Structures are given as C-alpha cells and as structure tokens.
Amino acid sequence: MVKINIELCKDCRYCVKFCPKQILKTGTVRNSRGHFYPAMTDADKCITCAICATMCPEGAIEVMKGDEAV
Ligand code: SF4
Ligand code: SF4
C-alpha cells in the first residue's frame, strides 16, 4: 500500500516518472498549496518497491507491506 501525504506534495512528478509499473499519475485535484498531487491508478500492480518514496524530495510517500513500512 502506498500512502501519500498530499499536503507535502509539490507536484515535481518524480514518483510518476520513476514508478516502474507506471501506476502513479498526476491527479486533477490540487492540495492547499495549489499543487496537483499524484493518484494511484491500479493498486493491484504495485510491487512495493518503494522507488516512489525514495524519489520523493518531500518525503510525502510511505510504502507499506502489511503493517510494516518498506
Ligand atoms: S511502490 Fe513501486 S510499484 Fe508501487 S507505486 Fe511506488 S514505485 Fe510504483
Ligand atoms: S515525488 Fe513527492 S512531491 Fe513529487 S509529485 Fe510525487 S508525491 Fe509529489
């Protein structure tokens, strides 16, 4: 499971670009700072590689495998 703290997102789109499964897309809703934040298109395809979390410069993404953070 991927948790996104949408208020921290600054719409850099690194997570969208580097997800190997291409399942993160820039959404159409802005956060309170005016930035579009990503949305997951197909959670079943997530391999919990945590590349999205590693690439996010804002620390806005947390990847969980069961109850544990990856
Ligand atoms: S954990 Fe990996 S597969 Fe899942 S959304 Fe992030 S980058 Fe994509
Ligand atoms: S990498 Fe982080 S800041 Fe950049 S678009 Fe994704 S969630 Fe937002």
Domains and CATH numbers, the chain: 2-64 (3.30.70.20)
Whole-prediction pTM: 0.94
pLDDT at residue number 66: 87
Average pLDDT on 18-36 reads: 97
Averaged pLDDT, 41-57: 97
Q: What mean pLDDT do residues 17-21 have? A: 98
Q: Is the CB of 4 under 6 A from ligand 1?
A: no
Mean pLDDT score across all residues of the chain:
96
| Residue 46 tokens, joined | 């997530």
- The amino acid sitting at 50 is A
- Per-residue confidence band for 47, with pLDDT thresholds at 50, 70 and 90: very high
Average pLDDT over residues 22-45: 97
Mutate to test the pocket of ligand 2, among 36, 37, 62 (most ligand atoms within 8 A of CB): 37
Rounded CA-CA distance 12/56 in Å is 8
Q: Whose CA is nearest to atom 3 of ligand 1?
A: 46
Torsion angle of alpha carbons 22, 37, 48, 42, nearest 10°? Answer: -50
Name the closest ligand to CA 24: 1
- Ligand nearest, relative to CA of residue 30: 2
Alpha helix (H) residue ranges in the chain: 14-18, 51-55
